[in-house]
Amino acid sequence: MRRIRRSLLAAIALLPLLPGLAAAAEIRVMCSGGFTAALKRLIPEFERASGHHVALALGASMGNAPDAIPNRLARGEPADLVIIAGEAVDALIAAGQVRPGSRTDLVLSRIGVTVRAGAPHPDIATPEAVARMLLEAPSIAYSASASGVYVSTELVQRLGIADQVLPKARRILSERVAAVVARGEAAVGLQQVSEILGVPGAAYVGALPDALQRVTAFSAGLAIRAEQPEAAAALVAYLRSPAAWPVIHETGLDPAP
């Protein structure tokens, strides 16, 4: 832990933007669930080392939930930085909400399967096994954000089981899928691995097999009306640095290339 903290401090000290940041700033960050667990662990060290403060707001990368980050921005909620699925950053750039050229990929995220703690773990080693799991499950929960869009509009269609699966599947808004499964409201859940790990009462089964996997880049983008662009850029540089990698790995993610 001391070695990680020394690496973190060194990484921040070397950021080229920091010498011009004499005054502490409040960085308003909107983050979606895939990177939330890692970010919450990384913020305190960044704050201690940089002197800045991070004000964090959470929401989905996409979708029609009131707290979805595109909807927050459309309502005019203030933000300096968004950290959401890369494709959602691109959409916000096209919509004039995020600065062109500011997308920076931070991590790669995979979709996993969860069941209630104590329940048997289904076989998900092959596409055929995943199809069998989804057909046999009495109820299924999936995210309203990037992973859920893939599950409901591509995955089950590729497997040829959409008509059997979608009627018993539930789209979860503004809550972790694993929490719904932990309460017994769904037998099986699919969401980003980083959003499954650590949820009390839920068990992580594993990631979808490579043949069915959808790897999502979670990326940072500078809000078009950012008031602290330099401080936000310093945070992005830290999140991209090797000092952040141990936490990124521990929360079920991989650093972006």
**pLDDT beyond 80 at 245:** yes
- What's the pLDDT tens digit per position in 164-180? 999 999 999 989 999 99
DSSP symbols for the chain:
-HHHHHHHHHHHHT-TTGGG--S--EEEEEE-HHHHHHHHHHHHHHHHHH--EEEEEE--SSSS-TT-HHHHHHTT---SEEEEEHHHHHHHHHTTSB-TT--EEEEEE-EEEEEETTSPPPP-SSHHHHHHHHHH-S-EEEESSHHHHHIIIIIHHHHT-HHHHGGGEEEEPSS-HHHHHHTTS-SEEEEEHHHHTT-TTEEEEEEPPTTT---EEEEEEEBTT-S-HHHHHHHHHHHTSGGGHHHHHHTT-EE--
* Confidence at 12, pLDDT banded by 50, 70, 90: low
Share of the chain above pLDDT 70, in %: 91
pLDDT at 21: 45
- What's the pLDDT tens digit per position in 1-11? 455 455 555 55
- What's the pLDDT tens digit per position in 24-35? 999 999 999 999
**pLDDT beyond 70 at 94:** yes
* Confidence at 64, pLDDT banded by 50, 70, 90: confident
**Which residue segments constitute the domains of the chain, with CATH numbers given?**
2-108+217-255 (3.40.190.10), 111-207 (3.40.190.10)
Model-level pTM?
A: 0.86
Share of the chain above pLDDT 90, in %: 88
